[in-house]
């Protein structure tokens, strides 16, 4: 199967590729509050976070993602909302992008975002690498999964995660950021309703595709994958999983 096929279909009706309502996204942008920022969105998916930020605050955004289908959607979603040239999309792996742009000397973005991805390794390594793109006194917005309640061992086995990963709660990332000098400004936890909508819409789009394309040779594998996830989500994940948004300021 094409490596981007499953996620592209699953997200085809999503704006944001993470669980957050439009109202709470607007509140988060209010908190960001920069004037005409220069924005970098790594693993930015369909770019809606960055588009929404600069549609409200002005400025420019660069959205980097491996999935060319997502970036095509980003350019479509930006149409009529942004000035010409305000959005740049780059089809690249985040690590390749960092290597090409010499991340050690790449500080200069007013706002760097990485939502729902960890392209530079562990949570700590990811924060450190992302921070190198931010100008002194700039902002870093990270979206990370966590556990609201201790997950069942069977759920961790299903996900292929270690028990150490299963011990990560909402506040854990704040502690990981402290040694890096990152200053927490604001946090936001997705609600169960937001998690249900995000996950349910994803599953619905996969199921619709399967029903509409019974002769697709990938349909059987897609059905097995999405239905095993559905069962795991309702059996274990819905009660345990959370998703947090963390806004940091870098030292001046």
How many Å apart are CA 59 and CA 202, to the nearest integer?
31
How many Å apart are CA 111 and CA 58, to the nearest integer?
12
pTM, two decimals, is 0.95
Summarised one tens digit per residue, pLDDT across range 33-61 is 999 999 999 999 999 999 999 999 999 99
pLDDT above 60 (res 103): no
pLDDT at 226: 98
pLDDT above 90 (res 167): no
- The arithmetic mean of pLDDT across residues 24-31, rounded, is 98
pLDDT at 144: 95
Q: Residue 189: which pLDDT band, with cuts at 50, 70 and 90?
A: very high
Q: What strands lie across the sheet with 60-65, from one edge to the other?
A: 87-91, 60-65, 38-42, 109-115, 134-147, 241-249, 183-189
Q: Is 55 helix (H, G, I), strand (E, B) or coil?
A: helix
Q: What percent of the chain stands above pLDDT 90?
A: 90
For the chain, domain boundaries: 19-191+242-249
Summarised one tens digit per residue, pLDDT across range 240-252 is 999 999 999 999 8
How many Å apart are CA 231 and CA 229, to the nearest integer?
5
The conformational region for residue 220 under phi > 0 = left, psi -120 to 50 = alpha, else beta, is alpha
How many Å apart are CA 16 and CA 14, to the nearest integer?
6
pLDDT above 60 (res 199): yes
The conformational region for residue 187 under phi > 0 = left, psi -120 to 50 = alpha, else beta, is beta
pLDDT at 241: 96
Summarised one tens digit per residue, pLDDT across range 2-11 is 999 999 999 9
Summarised one tens digit per residue, pLDDT across range 70-93 is 999 999 999 989 999 999 999 999
pLDDT above 80 (res 104): no
Average pLDDT, the chain: 95
pLDDT above 70 (res 106): no
pLDDT at 235: 98
Q: Could you say which architecture CATH assigns to the domain 19-191+242-249?
A: 3-Layer(aba) Sandwich (3.40)
Average the pLDDT over each of 15-19, 98-102, 174-178 and give the range with the smallest value.
98-102
pLDDT at 78: 94
């Amino acid at each position: 199967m094409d490596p981007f096929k499953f996620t592209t279909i699953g997200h085809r009706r999503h704006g944001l590729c993470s669980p957050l309502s439009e109202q709470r996204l607007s509140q988060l942008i209010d908190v960001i509050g920069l004037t005409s920022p220069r924005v970098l969105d790594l693993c930015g998916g369909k770019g809606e976070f960055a588009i929404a930020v600069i549609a409200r605050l002005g400025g420019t955004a660069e959205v980097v993602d491996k999935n060319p289908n997502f970036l095509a959607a980003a350019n479509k979603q930006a149409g009529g909302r942004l000035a010409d040239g305000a959005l740049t999309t780059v089809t690249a792996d985040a690590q390749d992008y960092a290597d090409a742009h010499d991340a050690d000397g790449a500080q200069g973005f007013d706002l760097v975002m990485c939502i729902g991805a960890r392209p530079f390794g562990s949570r700590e390594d990811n924060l450190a690498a992302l921070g190198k793109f931010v100008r002194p006194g700039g902002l870093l917005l990270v979206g990370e999964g966590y556990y609201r309640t201790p997950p069942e061992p069977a759920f961790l086995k299903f996900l292929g995660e270690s028990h150490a990963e299963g011990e990560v709660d909402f506040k854990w990332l704040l502690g990981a950021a402290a040694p890096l000098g990152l200053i927490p400004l604001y946090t936001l936890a997705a609600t169960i309703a937001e998690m249900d909508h995000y996950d349910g819409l994803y599953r619905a789009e996969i199921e619709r595709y399967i029903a509409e394309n019974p002769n697709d040779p990938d349909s059987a594998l897609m059905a097995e994958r999405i239905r095993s996830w559905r069962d795991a989500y309702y059996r274990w994940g819905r009660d345990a999983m959370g998703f947090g948004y963390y806004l940091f300021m870098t030292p001046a």
